[in-house]
Amino acid sequence: MKKLLLGCTLALGLTTTSCLGPNNAWENLHQWNRTVTDSKWGNEAIFLGLTIIPVYALFYWGDIIIFNSIEFWGGTNPIDPATK
């Protein structure tokens, strides 16, 4: 019973608190992918390729681990936000 209670407490703690940054690198990649071609099928193919290669994952982890931490501790994000 104690393990269940501890597990539930940890799960609740992990899902209710966070310090999220803007994820500018990931958003810039996503914005580029939306506008790289005039074809939605072409954009989807590029998206799938970048997901399989794990470019999207690397950009997201870079945002979480590096760039959002720099913004948290230094006050400014080194990557400019995506222009929409």
Indicate the pLDDT class of residue 55, thresholds 50, 70 and 90: very high
Tell me whether residue 79 is exposed, middle or buried, using C-beta atoms within 10 angstroms of its C-beta: 0 to 12, 13 to 18, 19 or more. Answer: buried
pTM of the model: 0.70
Residue 15 has pLDDT above 70, yes or no: no
Stronger pLDDT, 15 or 17, i.e. the higher one:
15
Q: pLDDT at residue 17 above 70?
A: no
Q: Cα separation of 9 and 71, whole Å?
A: 29
Locate tokens 């959002």: which residue? 68
At 25-52, the pLDDT tens digits run 999 999 999 999 999 999 999 999 999 9
pLDDT at 30: 93
